[in-house]
Amino acid sequence: ISSARDALDFIMKSVEKAGYKPGDDIMLALDCASTEYFRDGAYVMEGEGKSLNPDENVAYLNALASDYPVFSIEDGCSEDDWEGWKALTAELGDKVQLVGDDLFVTNPERLARGIEERAGNSLLVKVNQIGTLSQTLGAVDMAHRAGFTTVMSHRSGETEDATIADLAVATNCGQIKTGSLSRSDRLAKYNQLIRIEEILDEAAVYAGRSILN
């Protein structure tokens, strides 16, 4: 695998081989972590032999979103490339969820700037990133009032504590990012979501595509 497209093609073949239909049964969410390869004003993709300016990076992501069933892109631009984020949102914001992790760091001040400047349309929520539960709840509320989606997220070094599963439901995030179905720290969150679903019974509804509306 020598490029992002090679990886995505491999995933598409795997989805089909498993008996599912890409775009109907399975959608893709990308976490670019682009701050990690943003250098001196350019997005340097050494593995693909590319160095893209911010406008070219937007075009690159737009092409991926057009050619594959991508519904969400996290950190598509670097954390301090506000102009790039605004351009990406103008280009893709009406059809793709554009999640700010490094951009917002669950910080109400950075989120307020993103809302004002129309940079991104979704907040990744990490409780221990901002440091307090009250600040986290404030950021989620601010995001929802601005029409942003929210994604509750784990972080590296997780334990089997399942609090974020409860918070994802309590704050009406509708989405959770907590890794694959492996390792006890991840399974603990999914098991808690199953328990919550059992308690809610018929009141628990799978949002599916409607989460983006």
Quick check: 46 pLDDT over 80? yes
Contact 196, 169 (CB under 8 A): yes
* pLDDT attached to residue 206: 84
Render pLDDT for 179-201 as a digit per residue (tens, 0 to 9): 998 999 999 999 999 999 999 99
This prediction's pTM? 0.94
Q: Can you say whether residue 160 is alpha, beta or left, with left for phi > 0 and alpha for psi between -120 and 50 degrees?
A: alpha
* pLDDT attached to residue 128: 85
* pLDDT attached to residue 209: 81
Q: Domains of the chain by range and CATH?
A: 19-99 (no CATH), 104-213 (3.40.50)
Contact 145, 115 (CB under 8 A): no
Render pLDDT for 116-152 as a digit per residue (tens, 0 to 9): 999 999 999 999 888 899 999 999 999 999 999 999 9
Q: String of b and e for 168-192 (b: at least 16 CB within 10 Å)?
A: bbebebbbbbbeeeeeebbbbbbeb
Quick check: 15 pLDDT over 80? yes
